[in-house]
Structure 1
Amino acid sequence: METGRWIDITQPLTNDMAHWPGDTPFRFDLGVTKEQSGSVNIGEIRTSLHMGTHADAPFHFDEAGKKLHELDVNTYIGRARIIDVTMYTSLGQNELEGYDLEGAGRLLLKTSETNNPLVFPESFIELRPDIGPYLKSVGVFLLGIDVPSVDRTDSKELQTHHSLGDNGIHIVENLMLADAEPGDYEFIALPLAIHGADGSPVRAVIRKI
């Protein structure tokens, strides 16, 4: 990956993209056309806030958790480390102890060789709840992943969401990391400033250090 060039690792938002079962699909339309207005096109969208590449606010899974507008934007800008964990179907402290995470701060997990935005995955990696305390112990405060959730699709307890939240670790999901090599990068994944929200789509980019 070329040093100095920003690389987009965002799932594009399209009307035919897959969505979490039961969630509001993404839909973009031209609410007003230039022909209708005489001057401009005006688009409108309807969507779950957890479509595509997105950030979870703690309020998403914790009634007492911070909402999106209460989060520090600096969390989502800065140095990040990508590690390749594609060989695992389940990941926790035991596996992560084999990686050098010193100084990582923001950790991005490359778990899948492909991430097809048009197909919701039938299964994806399990992140075990012991990941939260371990990541906190090595100084990680943001975890990014290239699948729809840090918990399994059928989970109601969301143990890994809570484990991460309880240890001060912020969550970004559905990154596109198939072409990203392991290593250290500059990272930007800013959520929209939606007051009171439980999450937001982000535009995620990386640049090799």
Structure 2
Amino acid sequence: MDWLDLTTSITDGMAYWPDNAPVRIRRTLSMADGAAANVSEISMSVHTGTHVDAPLHFLADGMDAAQLNLSHLMGPALLVAVDSERFISQADIAHLQLAPGSRVLFKTRNSDREWSLEPFDPNFVRVGADAAAWLRAQGVVCVGVDYLSVGAADTHHNLLGAGISVIEGLALQHAAPGEYELLCLPLKIAGTDGAPARVLARRIDSR
């Protein structure tokens, strides 16, 4: 099976969390202007596009992005479609059979559009605190979502406080629900509370 790229492209002026730094990309050296090579620079928040939250994001003494447990970010993962208007609740996902060590990616109405190219949407679908607590109780090790945030502070605390890896900003527009092999590699940036990541997934044949 082919690998699917679940990474949102980083583009100049793309959607970003309102109190974070906007994305700015510019060419600093150009062959068209006589330079020997093209060179670009980028300025953005580490919580831009597809990225992984480090525990330090919401825990004062939490690990930084260079210390993330990569084993949580690679392996079998379940992609689940959830028809929630605003919050993914425990009732929405309590039917899932999740063993300890599971990875879960949530596809919502956020994926009905190319959200990264539109203005920030404060009404995006997010994981509610009750759902986060339930996922924590099931022993999941990774939760992924299709917008810039998994949820409010209590949701982050429930997940990051339990050592659960959080992937935000996934591009799930063309991914069907089902079981996948997941590969998520965040940049190893020391001292930061998150890091951009490239995320690939390959459908697991259930036959």
**Same topology, TM > 0.5:** yes
Q: CA deviation at 1:73?
A: 2.0
- 2:178 pairs with 172, 179, 183, which one? 183
- Residue 38 of structure 1 and its aligned partner are, at CA, apart by 4.4
**What does 1:7-18 align with in structure 2 at a 5 Å threshold?**
7-18=4-15
Distance in structure 1 (CA, Å) of the matches to 2:27 and 2:169: 26
Structure 2: stretches of 5+ with no match in the other structure:
none
Deviation of 1:114 after TM superposition, in Å, equals 2.6
From the superposition, tell whether residues 128 and 122 of structure 1 become closer, same or farther in structure 2 (CA, over 3 Å): closer
- Residue 205 of structure 1 corresponds to 200
Q: CA deviation at 1:37?
A: 7.0
What is the aligned partner in structure 1 of residue 29 from structure 2? 32
* Pairwise CA distance, 1:107: 0.5
Q: Which residue of structure 2 lines up, in the alignment, with residue 155 of structure 1?
A: none
Letter in 2 for 1:181: A
> Which stretch of the first structure deviates more once superposed, 125-134 or 161-170?
125-134
In the alignment, residue 177 of structure 2 is paired with which amino acid? P
| Aligned CA distance change for structure 1 residues 104 and 65 (closer, same or farther; 3 Å) | closer
Deviation at 1:75, TM superposition (A): 2.0
In structure 2, the CA distance between the partners of 1:58 and 1:42, relative to structure 1 (3 Å rule), is same
Q: Retained in 2: the 8 A contact 1:151–1:161?
A: yes
Q: CA deviation at 1:61?
A: 1.2
**When you count helix as a share of all residues, which structure comes out higher?**
2
SS at match of 2:117: coil
Q: Is the 8 A contact 2:54 2:160 kept in 1?
A: no
Aligned to 2:129, the other structure's residue is in SS state coil
The list of structure 1 runs, each at least 4 consecutive aligned residues, that deviate by more than 4 angstroms after superposition, is 35-38
The aligned residue for residue 167 of structure 1 is 162
Q: Residues 14 and 23 of structure 2 are in contact (CA less than 8 Å); yes or no, is this contact kept in structure 1? A: yes
Matched residue type, 1:79: P
Aligned to 2:104: 107
* Per-residue deviation, 1:93: 2.4
In 2, Cα distance between equivalents of 1:186 and 1:17? 28
Alignment partner of 1:57 out of 54, 57, 65: 54
1:35 is displaced (CA, Å) by: 5.5
Q: 2:36 is matched by which residue type in structure 1?
A: S
**Per-residue deviation, residues 106-139 of structure 1 (Å, max 9, x unmatched):** 1000112234212222302242222333213323
- The Cα shift of 1:76 comes to 1.6
Structure 2 residue aligned with 1:118: 117
Residues 181 and 104 (structure 1 numbering): CA distance in 2 closer, same or farther, change over 3 Å?
A: farther
Q: Does the aligned pair in 2 maintain the 1:10–1:176 contact within 8 Å? A: yes
Q: Deviations over 1:84-117 (max 9, x none)?
A: 1024532232321122323671100011223421
CA distance 1:103–1:160, change in 2 (3 Å):
closer
- Per-residue Cα deviation, 1:152-182 (whole angstroms, up to 9, x for no partner): 5xxxxx1110011122211111111122111
- CA drift of 1:183 comes to 0.7
Distance in structure 2 (CA, Å) of the matches to 1:31 and 1:55: 28
Tell me, what secondary structure is at the counterpart of 1:117? helix
Taking the aligned partners of 1:207 and 1:163, their CA distance within structure 2 comes to 28
Cα RMSD after superposing both structures: 1.9
The percentage of aligned residue pairs carrying the same residue is: 35
Contact 2:79 2:104 in 1 (8 A): yes
